[in-house]
Amino acid sequence: MDQQLTIVKVGGKILESQETLLQFIEDFSALPGPKVLVHGGGRSATTMAARLGLETKMVEGRRITDKDMLEVVTMVYGGMVNKNVVAAMQARGINAFGVTGADFNLIKAHKRTGTTIDYGFVGDVDEVNVSSLVSLVKQGGVPVVAPLTHDGAGQLLNTNADTIASSLAAGFADVMDTRLVFCFEKPGVLINPDDDTSVMPFLNRELFNMYRNEGIISEGMVPKLENGFNSLASGVLEVVITNTDGLSVPGSGTTLGE
């Protein structure tokens, strides 16, 4: 294996203001070794949809994506958010480049089926092809990945950014030692959502299921944790959930384990 790769998924309020975005990029750039950034942007998409008169519907943190909403998320994720992040990173000497799952045939997916809920153009990942990115990453390039995939037949699909990060981590883990960090506005997984000091330092599947059943863990944290545990099962060395302050501080946030 080569030197350790860090994949960071950033989302939530961090992307909403230039101040928090720039602080994140400073902390991200300080991480040692090769890096990959996966970004969300759901709040920006919701804001843009409202401006266009479109209603946003969510189920357990997952966006219902009809044809009109797909156009919105493609514009926001693949365009506005992705290129703003790339430009900000370039301004700080990070040789970043923006991609979606359709670029380099990076992530193929299929339209979600088999559920009682019609999610529309939401994609579930089938295949990850990181070979085109490995050499670029080893040369110092930093991919900035937007949460869009494709089905191989010309259809773009909206795919949860946490799933994108988890899938990429599993793909890279086959060729590089890989750790995955979910970075958002909270310092970790909280026992009390209103108390930022109530961070769970460690969480396994058993505790996750218990807290989920009790309603302590809910909404957007559910897919984040599900994807985190899937990463560990796929060979990722470490999965951490933290905020910008804890990004480069060992032991910060919540570490997932089996």
pLDDT, tens digit (0-9, with 9 covering 90-100), for 3-26: 799 999 998 788 888 888 999 999
Residue type, 228: G
Instruction: Give the DSSP letter string of 38-90.
Output: EE--HHHHHHHHHHTT----EETTEE-B-HHHHHHHIIIIIIIIHHHHHHHHH
CA dist 153 to 84, 108, 109, 120, Å? Answer: 29, 10, 10, 17
Q: What is the pLDDT of residues 43-63, one digit of tens each?
A: 899 999 999 999 999 886 678
- pLDDT per position as a tens digit, 119-166: 999 999 999 999 999 999 999 999 999 999 999 999 999 999 999 999
Q: Between β-strands 254-256 and 238-242, what pairing exists: parallel, antiparallel or unpaired? A: antiparallel
- Which of helix, strand or coil describes residue 251? coil
CA angle 95, 96, 101 (to 5 degrees): 150
Domain holding 194: CATH number? 3.40.1160.10
pLDDT digits (tens, 9 = 90+) for 83-119: 999 999 999 999 999 999 999 999 999 999 888 899 9
Beta strands in 151-244 (DSSP E): 156-158, 176-183, 202-203, 238-242
Q: Can you tell me the distance from the alpha carbon of 39 to that of 164, in angstroms, rounded to the nearest whole number?
A: 9
Domain that holds residue 55: 2-256
Residue 231's pLDDT band (cuts 50, 70, 90)? very high
Domain count, the chain: 1
